[in-house]
Amino acid sequence: MLSALTLAFADLFDRRLLPIWLKSLAATLLAVAALGVGAFFALRMVAHHLTENSDLAGILVVMLAIFGPWLLWRIVALAVLQVFADEVVAAIERRDYPAHAAHARPLGWQAELHRAAASAARAVLYNVLALPFALALLVTGVGPPLVFLGVNAVLLGRELQDMVWLRHTGHAQTASPLGRGERLALGGITAVLLTVPVINFAAPFLGAACAVHLIHRKGWHHAP
């Protein structure tokens, strides 16, 4: 995992990959800015309707202020990266794993858009489902961050794996060379990087690059 992550950081500055990263980053920033404005007004509306229960309104506002920006960035950044995933993965494969690149099948923009929408929907759904547990653990101080990190580690591990694996199988049901623990570690590291200022701008790209190296360094082979 550390070796793959080191290679992923080096990929950030590769002249063939830097334009893809900057393009996806620009699209993500624009999308987050637009959705952030909408979320601000939606939050004001919700707070207005909850004025009769000021304690509940206060708790929701605090939770959203703390975790909202991170969750919004995580959802949008990964959804945008799904659209550019084929470019990212293909560029790394052509450079470092040409034998695998030769057998890969691009998903196409329609499949990438579908996966981006599905990724965003899953992220919203599972984080909303996790919200009551985070609220229940609010008094512990560390409970809510751990809940959200755990949920997103599981989601991210599967999404990042499939960005690579679907190019070689066409469907996610085919067993991946990554074990459950490796997927969880991949998703967990990416989820943590998404919380680190400055690095969070590159975290989705790093996660995708790390997944490429993890899968292709496992020594699996295409069926003849």
- What 3 state SS string does 132-177 have? HHHHHCHHHCCHHHHHHHHHHHHHHHHHHHHHHHHHHHCCCCCCCC
Domain count, the chain: 1
Query: What would the pLDDT profile of 57-79 be if each residue is shown by its tens digit?
Result: 566 666 666 667 777 787 888 88
Please report whether residue 221 resides in a domain.
no
Digit-coded pLDDT (tens) for 151-198:
989 999 988 998 888 888 866 556 778 888 999 999 999 999 988 888
What span, in angstroms and rounded, lies between the C-alpha atoms of 163 and 90? 10
Residue 222 located in a structural domain = no
Mean pLDDT of the 198-218 span: 90
Contact by Cβ (8 Å): 90, 106: yes
Q: Where in the sequence is the domain holding 206, given as residue range(s)?
A: 2-216
pLDDT tens across 27-36, in order?
888 888 888 7
Residue from 48, 46, 95, 43 nearest 72 by CA? 43
Contact 193, 206 (CB under 8 A): yes
**Closest C-alpha among 205, 120, 212, 206 to residue 166:** 212
pLDDT of residue 48 exceeding 80? no
Mean pLDDT, residues 89-111 taken together: 86
* Cβ-based neighbours of 223, under 8 Å, separated by 6 or more: none
Does position 213 have pLDDT exceeding 90, yes or no? yes
Helices 54-96 and 18-49: crossing angle in degrees, nearest 10, is 170
The model carries a pTM of 0.81
Is residue 110 in some structural domain?
Answer: yes
Enter the tokens of residue 205.
């790209």
Do the domain assignments include residue 152? Answer: yes
